[in-house]
Structure formats: structure tokens, C-alpha cells
A and B are shown apart, each in its own frame.
Chain A
Amino acid sequence: MTKTITDVICPFCGTLCDDVEVVVSDDGKKLLEVANACVIGTEKFLHSQEPDRVTRPRLRQEDGSWKTVSYEEAADYTAKMLAKAKKPLMYGWSSTNCEAQSIGNEIAEIAKSCCDNTAAVCHGTTLIAVQDIGLPSCTLGEIKNRADRVIFWGCNPAHAHPRHMSRYSIFPRGFFTGKGQMSRKMVVVDPRCTDTAKMADVHLQIQQGHDYELLDALRVALKGEWLPDSVAGIPAEKIREVADIMKSGRFGIIFFGMGVTQSLSKNHNIDAAIALTKDLNEHTKFSIMPMRGHYNVTGSGEVFAWQFGFPYSVDLTRGFARYNPGDSSSVDLLTRGEVDAMFTIGSDPGAHFPISAVKGIAKVDSVCIDPHMTPTSGVSKLHVPVAFNGVECGGNCYRMDNVPIDCRKVVEPPEGMLTDQEFLTMVLDRLKKLKGVA
């Protein structure tokens, strides 16, 4: 006999789909089938069942080989490393739940550490722009129910957020959008003819790295002022056409992604996109939303903010919270070689940081807490495998629109494996003893 668990939350991307169904064995130990999830989400659930999974912490030896150690030894190593370090970096947090993040923050406070999440290489520049100019936004259900203009700017949900368009943005029939896709105009801005762009009513194949210019040109077009013949490779008449599409809608939304956050103008691109959204509110209702990547990077920012006051790149080394991206941000700290211990959880900087920063991890004492073997575990001194959050343990997470959803446990982790929370609690207890904190 098998059991079907419904309303399961998918712990992959910021879309945080919560309608997944999972079939498990009667004893709750085996996960057999996954329904409703996208191909990536399905893989995430199924990979937890691989027989070759690492199930115990491993410490790298002098000769480079791994030695299996107990969780107690792993927690000792981690606590000692953090206690000894002058400027440890505790990075990641985006693929774990808010309770683990909370314990991690307490550890960071005692260890006087730098704390950062994957926004550092994702939507960090968005946060800087929001601090400059604000953010008129909404929840995803608002888009489902009201939006008749949907702009995807520098993002490719067909690949990165596979169910976004079917659940929220393009296809659903909402309260005021009874005709689904037919009630919406879709515009995609991307230097490539992406699979998302292929579906659009209008694709602006922008010259790569010229988003700021095109965003400003749209603001100019909205005001009906003069434009040069072409901006960022897009003819003026096309820009005016898109400006008209935007302002003629009743409710519009701009979704944006790495195309603007990671190309050269970075936060300035997003400043311009938000300013455009603000301008559009003089004509109609318009919102803008970052397409957050990891399923709980948003949650990490929220927990950092309510506990420390800043959403990412927080430096606690002076005993109080400071924030200064470029100075207190992970890639810069590692590249400059300022970090003397690296603690990674729920992310893979080894794969997703520039190699010059990864070298900074390899040089120092390091712990990688991750269910998978990754490039980060590959360059770390200690690898602590843990239960898959959202599959083998529950906990609160925040969707890309900041809506909190409580993840579910659907299957037991392999015998004796700890969750992030359990392991972090062990580290916290040990660190408190080492530092003489009550």
C-alpha cells in the first residue's frame, strides 16, 4: 500500500509551488512518485532517494581523502572553527527553512561573523535598487486575478521557474482575467530568443547589457518625448509600441531576473525599471517583481532583516550589524582574502561564485552543510550531509512575492541523518560553551 500526500511544497525555486502530490510507501520511508511538479522539482524529490547518498559527515584528511566522522565530531569542528576565526563568513541559507536561519543567526551573532545569502549573486543588486527607490509590487495571486500586461525582462521562466507562467502569470484564469492567456499581452525583453521569448506577443531582442538605456527610452516614450531612431538595438517605433501596450492595460507587471541584476549596470538597471513602474502608475496600475531563485532566499532576507535590520551581506564582526555591499558582500570578502573561516549552508558558492572567490574558500578552514556532493563540498574541509529540507523535514519558507508557506515533510531521512536545525543547534550549544555565553 502507498500513501498520497497532497498540497506538498516544492523546495526548488522561488515559485514555491504548493500543489505537488507525492506518493510514499506505507512506512513513510520511500518516496515513490511525484505529480504536478516541474521536471526540476520532480528530480529534487526523487534524488533524495538515491542509494549512493552521503549520509554521514566527512572530514578531509591530509592526503585529500575523506574520513567519515560522527555528527558530534562535525559539530565540534564547526564550533571550534567559528570560535577561533576572526572574520568567519557564514554564507548560503537559501535552501533551508527559516527556523534553521534563525539558529544560524544566533550562531553568527556569537561568532561575530559575516552573514550572507545567495542574493549576493542573484538579486542583491535588486535589494540595493529597492533601497534607492522603493518597490511597487504585489502578490502572485494579484497577477493571476488582474494582470493583463505581463513583461518578462531579462528572465526566462520557461527554464528557471518552469511553472510560473501556468500557475500565476500567463495562463491562469483569474477573477478578472477569465480568458486566461487571451486576456494578457506578453512582452519579453532578452538578448536571446529564449523559450519564453518565443511565446511572447512582442520580443525585444535587446543588445546585451543595454537594459538601462532601453528602460529609460520607455520612460521617454511614455512621456511622448523625442527618441533616437534606435536604442539598445530596438527601433524607436517598437519602443513606442511597447510603451503603448504597457499604459493601455488595466493592471501590469514587470518580472525581472538575472539579465538585469548581473549585467554591467546592475542596480542602476533595476532603479530604471522601478522608476518606469512608478511612472506607469500615473497611467494605470503597474507592479514589478524580482524573480527570486532559490526557494527560500527571500526568507533568508526576511529573517536577516527582522533580526539584524538588513536583508543580506550583514557584517557582525564589530558586535553590531553593519551592511555595505562591496565591502561586506561574500564575493568581495573572499576575493580580497579577508575571510579566515568559511561556513556554507543551503547553497553552492563553489559552483556559483567566480573562481577567484572560490579560491578564497579553498584556502581557509571550511564547513559545507549540504545534502548533495557539490563543488563547495569538494573544496571544503568538512562536509556535513543533512536531510533535504522540504522533503525530509518541514519548515517555513518565503515565496518570491514574500508570501510565507510552511514546507512539509513527506518522507523520513535515511536512518540517523540530522536536519539543518538539529545540526545547527548542536553547533550553537558548543559555541556557547566555547565562548562562555549563557
Chain B
Amino acid sequence: MAEYIIRNGHVFDPVQGIKGDKKDICIKDGKIVDKVGSSAKVIDAKDKTVMAGAVEIHAHIAGPKVNLGRIYRPEDKLFSCTPTKGMERMGSGASIPTTFKTGYEYAKMGYTTAMEAAMPPLFSRHVHEEIRDTPIIDEGAFPVFGNNWFVLEYLKNHEIENTAAYMAWLLNVTKGYAVKVVNPGGTEAWGWGLNCLTVNDPVPYFDITPAEIVKGLMEANEYLGLPHSVHIHPNNLGNPGCYETTLDTLKLTEGIKAKNKFGREQVLHLTHTQFHSYGGTTWADFESKAKEVTDYVNKNKSITIDTGNVTLDETTTMTADGPFEHHLTGLNHLKWANVDVELETAAGVVPYIYSPNISVCAIQWAIGLEIPLMMKDPMRCYITTDHPNAGPFTRYPRVIKWLMSKKARDVQVDSFKHKDKVLSQTSIGSLDRELSLYELAQMTRAGPAKSLGLGSMVGGLKPGMDADIAVYNFNPEKPVANPDDIEKAFSRTAATFKSGVQVVSNGEIVSNGNKRTLWVSIKAKENAQVARDIAEKFVKYYSMTQANYEALGHHFVPNPFAIEVDATN
């Protein structure tokens, strides 16, 4: 493999505490090293910003609901098709780009790792086929557990060991990365057209509460010592007043301790926090509760969050929170797709237009920015758009602009039709904080990598780590004349390296890289009861035989990278 030296860039690396010093970064055999030989290829990074490749902790980029979005929204392709070009396959789609376009767009923005946030276990083969066809970036996928009949039955009796055994089995057969929970209990209730809106609403028939599910899953997650914590989308998403449910959910972490060998400190990751930080009782008195939520998170080190920034675009919402999507189609009357998945989960898809002329949308935009600006520890708060739910991931550069420039936020607020309402219902107008590049590197690199248990591998530039590197045309020593320059600089890298291979040069794809599928391989204790229960459920209730359930083989996972967990002790 070619050796490289990225010379004289301003390096921002939270892993080593480097804050913009001029340094050389050396690459050899896919890793970052202390030095390279004289024949190494030189990348001149003078007056440029150098960071590790960014890590996406939560996006919907591969799998059945994403593809349902592509299938049923031809209008999303209008003006968004890209032709075949050099080694780039053709692409299409704005809020739900095709797999090829997804890989290229991430790489061009300097992202090298991404997590698909919700994998229905029955559809794991589909998720992996799309991951296979997404070039360059390393990807993992989170199977959903919060409404799974096995989980509901075991946790009703607080059987943590059995839950953990099932968890290990499911992660192994689906080649999953982490334990995702979406609207715990509520999505099972949706099987009957119902929902669970608080942590204490009992799940129909199964007679268990969301609180019991979440607590039990956290205990099982720590029992196994998985790299990532439980990753939760709590109940009651998107409704005025939902922040109380959010706080109730967060409080369930009290008394649970992280136990793992991967450097992870949290026991719960709260995703798209923006959607869970609403006050008020109706859309008329809708208001921000970002302060209440971030106050709690600031005080409790056992929680990490991501933001879920609204980008004010037309987009496609999609979630395993089936009842929410039904609720949403009732609000906006746009086309509704739904898929209930036997024994496991559900999903809904509805297009959505975040219009700057609608006060609720503008308030949502403000809340998404308040959250990171109110978080004291950038290592525990990560930038996402919950792609494509709050906006497409391709808008990260714009979100970065808003976070790094008070001026840019003010310009946006001034343009809102209901500016006064935005200012009265949120505190966006009084937040002066502007994120530094170091904080940005924490929120998009070192932080999410640590939360995922990948902190020793990616998200930093320390020798020995993977050579995932982004070089931006941004000179931190020069004052920013126009905030739009920030957006422009982070839209296209000068160079992106993935595992030591240069994949982007001056914003163009130059290699399809060496994409890997990340998954967690668990060695667990034998558990005869769980094995029997699994076999029985397949015989009686699944529509597929157990022998055909696993995602196995080269055509699904051609280049696996398994993270080994030994949970036999």
C-alpha cells in the first residue's frame, strides 16, 4: 500500500488533544504511523484543516424502509440524478439517495464510518445487500430490540440472562452492531393500531411497560459488555410535551453502570434528541425544552446523545415508530407507507416538508441547534440529522455553519416568517456560543467513535489508529468573512483517506476504497432455554424457517470486520 504524508495542516484531534497545531500526519499500511519513508506521497495541507474521518452515529441509509422511500418517491429524484462519471456509478435521490450516491456523498464530506440506525432483523439480508453496494464508508447496522416478542416475554419476568442470550444470538445471525430500541412497546401495540406514549403504558397482551423494557435491555447490554450502549428512540416522539417522557426514559439509567472493554462510558445513547425535547400542550403553544433535557444529560455522564438537526428541507421521514408515522400522515396528509414486521418491529414512511414559513418547523430547527450549544461536554453530543428524518445528511456542512456562526443563525432566524415566535418559544436568540473546530471534531469524530466503542480504532489521528482522514479547505487562522464559506469548506474535502487509501481528491471520487461491514461477534454462554424458545417461535409464528434466517455469505457481507466480544464469563 502507498505511504502518504499529509504535511503542514492544522490538525484537530481530540484523541491526542491537538487543537489546530501544524503537524504532519503519516499513513502506512492503512494505519496512522509516526513516520514514513522519503518516497511517501506528499499531500500539501498548508492552510488547511486536518481531522480524522467523521463518524456517523445514526442515519437511515440502508434497508427496507429506506428503499421503500426510494421506490415510492420518484419526485425525490427530480434534479438530483447524477450521471456515471469516472469510477462513480450513477446516482439519484436528494433525501434518499441511492446506495452509490450515499457512499460518495459521505466520503466527499470527509465521513468514513456510518451506522444504519434501524435494521429490522427479519430484513437483515436486505440491509446487508445495500451496505455492500454503498461504496467506501465502513458501515454497521443496529437491529431493533424494543418490540421483539422474545424481549417482551423475557423482560416481563426480568430475565436478564435470557434476554442477553437472545441478544447475542440475534446480533450474531443478523450481523448487527448494536442494540437499537424504537418506541419500546409502542410499536408492538401498533400491531393493533395502538401506541405507548409514556414509559408506564402497558403493552397490549404482553403486559410489560416501556420502562421495564428499556431498563432490562440496558442491563442485558452491559451483561454482554457490548461495544455500544443501548441506542434509544424513546416513546412519544415528536409530540408537544414529549420531553417529560424523554426525561423519564433518561432516568432509567440511574443505577446502571457501563461495563465493557471498549472504552465506552455511557449506558444509554439518546438519539435525535431534538424530536424528544418539545414542551407545550398543542402545536399552538409548542416550545423548546432543550434546556431541561440537556441539563439532565449534562449532569449524567452515563448518557450520550445525538442532535437530529432540522435542516429546513423537503425530506422523507422513516422510522420503526410505526404509530408515529400514522400520526404524521394525519397531520400533513402526505402519502403513508407502513410495514409491520412479524414478532419484531414495524416501520412507517411519510414525506415531510420542513418549511421555514411554518412556526413549528422553525422552532424545531432552533431546538436542534440549542441542544449542541447547551451541551457542556462535546464528547457526549454528536451532530446528526437523523437522516433523512430531520433532513438529509448532505446538509451537515450547513448545520456546521449554523453551529460555528452566531451570525449565520441570526440570518436564518431573521428570514423566518414567524421569527418572533421562534424567539419566544426557544432561547436560540440568546445563545452566543460558536463551536470551535476542536469541538466540532469532538462532536463528529472522537465523540461518536467513543460512544460506539470504536474509540481506539477511528475518530482520531493517533498512530496505530485507522488512517481515516479528512482534509478541508479551511484555514483556521483566517477570520471567517462569510459564514457560507464554512458550509462550502465542509461540503467537499480536499482529500479523504479511508483505511489509508485516498478516496477523494479535490472533491472528486478517486477510489472506491475498501469498504467493510462492521459487526459484533459475540461468544455467549450456551442457553438451552433460549435456543428452544427461538426454535419454537420459528416453527409456530415466523413465516420463515430458522435455517433461512441468518445473513450468511459473501454476497451479503463480502468484507466483514467483526468486533469480538467474549461474554462467557
Q: Do chains A and B touch in the complex (CB under 8 A)?
A: yes
Residues of chain A touching chain B, judged by Cβ–Cβ distance below 8 Å, are 6-7, 9, 18-19, 98-99, 102, 106, 109-110, 127, 130-142, 144-146, 167-168, 174-176, 250-251, 278, 281, 284-285, 287, 301-303, 305-311, 316, 318-323, 395-396, 398, 402-406, 438
Extra contacts besides A18-B545, A307-B100, A320-B82 (13): CB < 8 Å: A133-B335, A137-B338, A141-B543, A144-B541, A145-B342, A174-B541, A176-B205, A285-B192, A301-B71, A306-B99, A309-B98, A321-B77, A321-B90
Q: How many A-B residue pairs have CB under 8 A?
A: 190
Q: Which residues of chain B come closer than 8 Å to A396, judged between CB atoms?
A: 125, 129, 555-556
Q: Which residues of chain A come closer than 8 Å to B149, judged between CB atoms?
A: 175
Beta-carbon contact of B339 and A175 below 8 Å: no
Beta-carbon contact of A139 and B84 below 8 Å: no
**Given A136-B338, A405-B548, is A323 in contact with B556 using a C-beta cutoff of 8 Å?**
no
Distance between A36 CB and nearest chain B CB, rounded to angstroms: 11
Q: Which residues of chain B come closer than 8 Å to A142, judged between CB atoms?
A: 191, 340-342
Chain A, residue nearest B81 (CB):
A320
Q: Which residues of chain B come closer than 8 Å to A251, judged between CB atoms?
A: 191-192
Q: Which of A19, A285, A307, A318: most chain B Cβ within 10 A?
A: A307
Q: How large is the interface on B (under 10, 10 to 19, 20 to 34, 35 or more residues)?
A: 35 or more
Chain A, residue nearest B346 (CB):
A138
User: Which among B64, B336, B543 is the interface contact of A168 at CB below 8 angstroms?
Assistant: B543
Q: Which residues of chain A come closer than 8 Å to B191, judged between CB atoms?
A: 142, 146, 251, 285
What is the bound-complex CA distance between A307 and B81, given in angstroms? 12
Beta-carbon contact of B133 and A308 below 8 Å: no
Q: Which residues of chain B come closer than 8 Å to A402, judged between CB atoms?
A: 64, 68, 123, 126, 339
Beta-carbon contact of B70 and A309 below 8 Å: yes
Chain A, residue nearest B192 (CB):
A285
Beta-carbon contact of B547 and A7 below 8 Å: yes
Distance between A287 CB and nearest chain B CB, rounded to angstroms: 7
| Chain B 512-544 per-residue mask, 1 if CB under 8 angstroms from chain A, else 0 | 000000000000000000000000000011111
| Chain B 314-343 per-residue mask, 1 if CB under 8 angstroms from chain A, else 0 | 000000000000100100000111111111
User: Which among B99, B350, B544, B555 is the interface contact of A307 at CB below 8 angstroms?
Assistant: B99
Q: Which residues of chain B come closer than 8 Å to A132, judged between CB atoms?
A: 335
**Given A145-B342, A287-B338, A403-B123, is A305 in contact with B70 using a C-beta cutoff of 8 Å?**
yes
**Given A7-B548, A307-B98, is A438 in contact with B87 using a C-beta cutoff of 8 Å?**
yes
Beta-carbon contact of B193 and A281 below 8 Å: yes
Q: Which residues of chain B come closer than 8 Å to A403, judged between CB atoms?
A: 122-123, 543-544
Q: Does B553 contact A (CB under 8 A)?
A: yes
Can you spell out 7 A-B residue pairs with CB atoms less than 8 angstroms apart? A6-B547, A131-B335, A251-B192, A302-B126, A395-B555, A405-B125, A406-B552
What is the bound-complex CA distance between A142 and B340, given in angstroms? 7
What is the bound-complex CA distance between A136 and B89, given in angstroms? 32
Q: Does B212 contact A (CB under 8 A)?
A: no
Distance between B554 CB and nearest chain A CB, rounded to angstroms: 10
Q: Which residues of chain B come closer than 8 Å to A307, judged between CB atoms?
A: 89, 98-100, 133
Q: Does B479 contact A (CB under 8 A)?
A: no
Distance between B47 CB and nearest chain A CB, rounded to angstroms: 34
Q: Does B74 contact A (CB under 8 A)?
A: yes
Q: Which of A18, A134, A278, A308: most chain B Cβ within 10 A?
A: A134
Beta-carbon contact of A310 and B77 below 8 Å: yes
Beta-carbon contact of A137 and B337 below 8 Å: yes
| Chain B 43-73 per-residue mask, 1 if CB under 8 angstroms from chain A, else 0 | 0000000000000000000101011101111
Q: Which of A19, A136, A250: most chain B Cβ within 10 A?
A: A136
| Chain B 114-143 per-residue mask, 1 if CB under 8 angstroms from chain A, else 0 | 000000001101100110010000000000
Beta-carbon contact of B336 and A404 below 8 Å: no
Q: Does B388 contact A (CB under 8 A)?
A: no
Q: Does B83 contact A (CB under 8 A)?
A: yes
Beta-carbon contact of B342 and A308 below 8 Å: no
Distance between A396 CB and nearest chain B CB, rounded to angstroms: 6
Chain A, residue nearest B546 (CB):
A7
| Chain B 550-569 per-residue mask, 1 if CB under 8 angstroms from chain A, else 0 | 00110110000000000000
Q: Which residues of chain B come closer than 8 Å to A140, judged between CB atoms?
A: 342, 543
Beta-carbon contact of A404 and B125 below 8 Å: yes
Chain A, residue nearest B127 (CB):
A404
Distance between A438 CB and nearest chain B CB, rounded to angstroms: 7
**Given A139-B122, A306-B99, is A99 in contact with B335 using a C-beta cutoff of 8 Å?**
no
Q: What are the 9 A-B residue pairs with the smallest beta carbon separation, nearest first?
A: A141-B342, A134-B335, A309-B92, A141-B543, A138-B340, A7-B547, A285-B193, A404-B125, A136-B338
Beta-carbon contact of B77 and A102 below 8 Å: no
Chain B, residue nearest A250 (CB):
B192
Chain A, residue nearest B90 (CB):
A320
Q: Which residues of chain B come closer than 8 Å to A131, judged between CB atoms?
A: 71-74, 335
Beta-carbon contact of A302 and B67 below 8 Å: yes
What is the bound-complex CA distance between A106 and B90, given in angstroms? 10
Q: Which residues of chain B come closer than 8 Å to A139, judged between CB atoms?
A: 122, 339-342, 543
Distance between A328 CB and nearest chain B CB, rounded to angstroms: 11
User: Which among B90, B544, B547 is the interface contact of A316 at CB below 8 angstroms?
Assistant: B90
Distance between A246 CB and nearest chain B CB, rounded to angstroms: 14
| Chain B 182-218 per-residue mask, 1 if CB under 8 angstroms from chain A, else 0 | 0000000011110000000000010000000000000
Q: Which residues of chain A come closer than 8 Å to B329, judged between CB atoms?
A: 134
What is the bound-complex CA distance between A167 and B541, given in angstroms? 11
Q: Does B93 contact A (CB under 8 A)?
A: yes
**Given A127-B71, A174-B541, A405-B544, is A137 in contact with B339 using a C-beta cutoff of 8 Å?**
yes
**Given A310-B74, A404-B123, A404-B126, is A109 in contact with B342 using a C-beta cutoff of 8 Å?**
no
Distance between B534 CB and nearest chain A CB, rounded to angstroms: 15
Chain B, residue nearest A280 (CB):
B193
Distance between B131 CB and nearest chain A CB, rounded to angstroms: 10
Beta-carbon contact of B336 and A136 below 8 Å: yes
What is the bound-complex CA distance between A323 and B93, given in angstroms? 13
B residues 347-390 touching A (CB-CB < 8 Å): 349-350
**Given A98-B129, A109-B84, is A308 in contact with B98 using a C-beta cutoff of 8 Å?**
yes
**Given A6-B547, A167-B543, A321-B90, is A135 in contact with B77 using a C-beta cutoff of 8 Å?**
no
Beta-carbon contact of B548 and A138 below 8 Å: no
What is the bound-complex CA distance between A144 and B192, given in angstroms? 14
Beta-carbon contact of B540 and A311 below 8 Å: no
**Given A145-B541, A308-B92, is A134 in contact with B122 using a C-beta cutoff of 8 Å?**
no
**Given A306-B70, A309-B81, A406-B125, is A141 in contact with B192 using a C-beta cutoff of 8 Å?**
no
Distance between A305 CB and nearest chain B CB, rounded to angstroms: 4
Q: Which residues of chain A come closer than 8 Å to B125, judged between CB atoms?
A: 396, 404-406
Beta-carbon contact of A144 and B543 below 8 Å: yes
Q: Which residues of chain B come closer than 8 Å to A106, judged between CB atoms?
A: 89
Distance between B352 CB and nearest chain A CB, rounded to angstroms: 13
**Given A308-B98, A396-B556, is A319 in contact with B83 using a C-beta cutoff of 8 Å?**
yes
Beta-carbon contact of A281 and B335 below 8 Å: no
What is the bound-complex CA distance between A141 and B130, given in angstroms? 24
What is the bound-complex CA distance between A102 and B100, given in angstroms? 12
Q: Which residues of chain A come closer than 8 Å to B556, judged between CB atoms?
A: 396, 406
Q: Which residues of chain B come closer than 8 Å to A144, judged between CB atoms?
A: 342, 541, 543
User: Which among A127, A175, A250, A320 is the interface contact of B92 at CB below 8 angstroms?
Assistant: A320
What is the bound-complex CA distance between A404 and B119, given in angstroms? 13
What is the bound-complex CA distance between A405 and B124, given in angstroms? 10
Beta-carbon contact of B74 and A323 below 8 Å: yes
User: Which among B87, B98, B548, B555 is the interface contact of A306 at CB below 8 angstroms?
Assistant: B98
Q: Which residues of chain A come closer than 8 Å to B326, judged between CB atoms?
A: 281
What is the bound-complex CA distance between A44 and B375, given in angstroms? 62
Distance between B293 CB and nearest chain A CB, rounded to angstroms: 32
Q: Which residues of chain A come closer than 8 Å to B553, judged between CB atoms?
A: 406
What is the bound-complex CA distance between A99 and B554, given in angstroms? 11
What is the bound-complex CA distance between A320 and B91, given in angstroms? 7
Distance between B412 CB and nearest chain A CB, rounded to angstroms: 30
Chain A, residue nearest B70 (CB):
A305
Beta-carbon contact of A311 and B71 below 8 Å: yes
Q: Which residues of chain B come closer than 8 Å to A135, judged between CB atoms?
A: 68, 72, 337-338
Q: Which residues of chain A come closer than 8 Å to B545, judged between CB atoms?
A: 7, 18-19
B residues 445-498 touching A (CB-CB < 8 Å): none
